[in-house]
Amino acid sequence: MKRYSAFAIAREAFRQHSGWARAWASPEPRNHYDIVIVGAGGHGLATAYYLGKRFGLTNIAVIEKGWLGGGNTGRNTTIIRSNYLQDPSAALYEKSRALYETLSQDLNYNIMFSPRGVMMLAQTEAEKRGYLRTERANALQGVDTRFIQPSEVQRLVPIINIHGPRYPVLGALWQERAGTARHDAVAWGLARACSAMGMHVIEQCAVTGVESANGAVSAVNTTRGRITCGKLGIVVAGHSGALADMAGFRLPIESVALQALVSEPIKPCMDVVVMANTVHGYLSQSDKGEMVIGGGADGFNNYTQRGSWHHVEETVRALVETFPMLSRLKMLRQWGGIVDMTGDRSPILSKTPLENCFINCGWGTGGFKATPGSGWAMAELMAKGHSPLTDAFSLNRFREGRFIDESVAAGVAH
């Protein structure tokens, strides 16, 4: 793999940029791999990357039914934070946030990580009490957050109207080291690193069936042929239920659309991320000047990746009360992603009833922020059969009643 650097850019400028190689290879699938990971989104690629980096396992195929990063990885609003309430959640998300800080250097690829800070507005007394509780829980967990008063909210976000007509701002839970990253760049950088280690990233390769022998996974059937494998990782977000059905087990998840939109580009006016969970809206400004806007998940099960006008109206109406300037902007584009929800709004990182088959799903609206941490933990689980970061997130918790309730900290997921 040719390293990217300022010197490389200068050198190629004199060569009419003729020396750049493909960022990742596009090989034909082999008949056998030690590990097959289904899903070439951020989580699947991160799992493969850490399997290679930490455990030296490189006979791996990451297969994707569409194009790399074409699912939720390319359809989210790029928020990264770790201010969750429950200890297992905080540990996993804080691991991810910390990995994000050096991921550009680790991958030799600029993922545009921006630790600009994330605030979650308290707009009711109940919400304020909840965030004060989270602040204290985070202090015990070693996660750096603090509750700030309305005056500091106004100082950090001058365009905000803290005296809203329905929900005035009573303060906010502020995580200064949280922020955003470029979602496409995360997937591309991970794919480039995996390819450089000799792994196969195979696009346009849909799984049509999962084979087993003596209770253990043995092969996957795909639109590009049958592939035998020693271990199988299923990392396909909203389609997890369909893959699990092929493997012979059921998952306690439901799939719904989560919609987002961006405005026309404007001059810089907001350098933090704001989440307003009472009204189900969140807002940040991209490097290109667009206002990135998201809201709550759809209230009904569906697999659509398109937006809907009623959702735009609901989300924008809520945010205009708090950010009046938004009323003068035009919408540039809108989209949806398929998110997989568990009953306790926490993910599943687990072995499955099918031996040597592992599942990573149930992230709901919090998948992107967990990408490197999820990959780190899932790689450890697949390589060693155990990871302290995944213990609490096993499938068994639903049978045993050990729920990890994050319906409040997940913000827009409830």
CATH assignment at residue 170: 3.30.9.10
Q: Where are the alpha helices (DSSP H) in 56-124?
A: 87-107
pLDDT given at position 412? 52
pLDDT given at position 414? 39
> Which residue matches tokens 């687990």?
350
> Which residue matches tokens 């989270």?
134
* Chain-centroid distance, C-alpha 47: 13
Based on the fold, state whether residues 170 and 267 are members of the same structural domain: yes
Based on the fold, state whether residues 137 and 175 are members of the same structural domain: yes
Q: Which of the listed residues 326, 342, 358 is the one where a domain comes to its end? A: 342
Task: Please say whether the beta carbons of 395 and 348 come within 8 A.
Answer: yes
The encoded tokens of residue 107 equal 């991958």
Q: Which of the listed residues 298, 313, 342 is the one where a domain comes to its end? A: 342
Q: Is residue 129 part of a domain?
A: yes
Side chain identity, residue 271:
D
The encoded tokens of residue 37 equal 């990971």
Largest pairwise CA distance in the chain: 64
CATH assignment at residue 58: 3.50.50.60
Q: Is residue 383 part of a domain?
A: yes
Write out residues in the chain with pLDDT < 70, as ranges. Answer: 408-414
pLDDT given at position 21? 87
Q: How far apart are CA 256 and CA 289, in angstroms?
A: 29
pLDDT given at position 148? 98
Q: Is residue 85 part of a domain?
A: no
Question: Cα–Cα distances in Å, from 229 out to 63, 198, 218?
Answer: 13, 17, 6
pLDDT given at position 203? 96
Q: Which of the listed residues 342, 360, 392 is the one where a domain comes to its end? A: 342
Based on the fold, state whether residues 168 and 266 are members of the same structural domain: yes
Q: How far apart are CA 178 and CA 211, in angstroms?
A: 42
Q: Can you list the positions of beta strands (E) in 215-272?
A: 216-222, 225-234, 253-263
Q: How far apart are CA 52 and CA 21, in angstroms?
A: 22
Based on the fold, state whether residues 332 and 211 are members of the same structural domain: no
Q: Is residue 411 part of a domain?
A: no
Opening angle at CA 139, ends 134 and 145, nearest 5: 65
Q: What is the number of structural domains in the chain?
A: 2
pLDDT given at position 164? 81
What domain range includes position 69?
27-78+183-253+344-400
Q: pTM for this structure?
A: 0.95
Based on the fold, state whether residues 138 and 264 are members of the same structural domain: yes
Q: Is residue 14 part of a domain?
A: no
Q: Is residue 96 part of a domain?
A: no
The encoded tokens of residue 396 equal 């068994």
